[in-house]
Amino acid sequence: MTRRKIALAGIGKIATDQHIPTLASSPDWELAAAVSRHGRVEGVPNFTDMDEMLAAHPEVGTVSLCMPPVPRFAYAEAALKAGRNVMLEKPPGATLSEVHALENLAREAGVVLYATWHSREAAFVAPAAAWLKGRRLKRFTVTWKEDVRKWHPGQDWVFEPGGMGVFDPGINALSIVTAILPDPIHVTRATLEMPENRQTPIAATLAFHHPQGAEVTATMDWDHSGDDVWRIEAVTDGGTMTLDRGGAEMRIDGSVQSAGDGLHGEYPRLYAQMARLVEDGRSDVDLSPARHVWDAMTLGRRKIVAPFHW
């Protein structure tokens, strides 16, 4: 099978750690070009300007965007207007409105737009959704704690407007929540801990309305020391299910199932899905995780906390 040519834009940590290795072993995609102001990919043509790359490589039918959300819209807009399919790293944009605008552009151009949520591709997300279906939820607790210094070392953009702060990892949890809960929920209360020298929260607590009256809460912390905690617990009338390690492990009433590859299969599954979408000529733009973030930022009570320094 002939592999489709794809370009990668935004050569930073996530591209280096996940996208480039995934594309190197993909049966569906051939990395044909890269666009970045600072990074490079060995073995392919490298550009610092998206328009220049698009003009130089008409054979590249798809562009995968990995830069931070604030500058991403302009790159996506250029690619869509040039008739290329676009794959968006999470979160899909700095605002909901700009993603809706991209969705309209893709429709007008007759190309595919894919807003990816890599945590939904963890091994036990789909089994968790199947287990919850038909059970009455009593309590649902999200605990998402990690160290920003480990995952975004020195990247000040995460604390600037549009960077989302703790919701940069927290939206991963919300992407799983919106994939596995049978009933829709919405944010009712939030507390956002704002370092006095930063523009976005470093920690957050959220409460949600559940249509059947279940207690649904989330606690997120980006200044956590020790091992990462990526856990979702659901207490139901038919037992307790816990997703741990970001969905790489599932426990049901003490019985443990664990994925041998941890989270390493997430990005290969994303790119396989992108190949299917392109084959079908179908876009996939689900903004439900982002809506929870935007609602929390709107409703959230700001609590000023100590300055954050790298």
State the catalytic residues: 90
Characterize 258-292 residue by residue with b for buried, 16 or more Cβ atoms within 10 angstroms of its Cβ, and e for exposed: ebeeebebbbbbbbbbbbebbeeeebbebbebbeb
β pairing state of 137-145 and 215-221? parallel
C-alpha to C-alpha distances, 95 to 85, 91, 167, nearest whole angstrom: 20, 9, 13
Q: Token pair for residue 237?
A: 């009338």
Tell which residue, 28, 58, 57, 62, has the closest CA to residue 44: 57
Q: Token pair for residue 46?
A: 């490298």
- Which 3 state secondary structure label does DSSP give 44? coil
DSSP structural state of residue 60: -
